[in-house]
Amino acid sequence: MRDYSQIDLEFSYDGDFTIGASGDLGDTADNTLQSFIQEAQTRLRSELYDWTMHPHLGAAMSDLLGEPNDKETAEEGQVKIISALTKDGFCNADAISVHYMPVSRHHILYKISIRLPFARGELEDNVLTFSLLFDSNGETDGITFL
């Protein structure tokens, strides 16, 4: 993984801009980990060609909408997640672990762990772990982060 030092506007969980202490738009200048999390989630939530300047960023999880909730679909989602996170060197593949489990007829839960060398002291064992719930019916836009 490259040395991560991006600064971005800060978003709420719902994707709204936040307001900083100064009353201006909030940013992630003082929180590299938050910036990384936002970028990772944006990549996983995005479709290919969503971003004009970066048309190949995105997991394109919508390709799995309507597919059966089986091992093949779960593995295809796993590949899409890893591909979105490793595109353009954002993360190294060997730093990512993605496990999946069907949790209902139309839902697959993905547990995503990423080893982050820059997060020393901020995370246990320098590993960021979060979950993505994929809904093959497309409710909640198909993706919810837990």
Residue 109 falls inside a structural domain: yes
Residue 26 falls inside a structural domain: no
- Percent of the chain, pLDDT > 90? 50
Residue 2 pLDDT more than 60? no
Residue 54 falls inside a structural domain: yes
Cα separation, 20 vs 51, whole angstroms: 26
Angle 91-119-23 (CA atoms, 0-180°, nearest 5)? Answer: 100
CATH of the domain at 56: 3.10.450.40
Residue 80 pLDDT more than 60? yes
Residue 125 falls inside a structural domain: yes
Residue 4 falls inside a structural domain: no
Q: What local confidence, expressed as pLDDT, does residue 41 receive?
A: 92
* Average confidence (pLDDT) over 27-55: 87
**How much is the pTM?**
0.85
Residue 60 falls inside a structural domain: yes
Label residue 3 by pLDDT band (50, 70, 90): low
Enumerate residues 6+ apart whose C-beta is below 8 A from 107.
Answer: 69, 133, 134, 135, 136
Q: What six digits make up the tokens of 31? A: 């929180």
Domain residues for the domain of 76 are 32-145
Q: Are the CB atoms for 91 and 118 separated by under 8 Å?
A: no
Residue 11 falls inside a structural domain: no
Phi-psi region of 41 (alpha: psi -120 to 50; beta: other; left: phi over 0): alpha
Number of structural domains found in the chain: 1
Residue 3 falls inside a structural domain: no
Tens of pLDDT along 98-133?
999 999 999 999 999 999 988 777 787 889 999 999
Label residue 5 by pLDDT band (50, 70, 90): low
- Considering only CA atoms, which of 88, 64, 62 is closest in space to residue 76? 64
Residue 110 sits at φ, ψ, to 5 deg, of: -110, 125
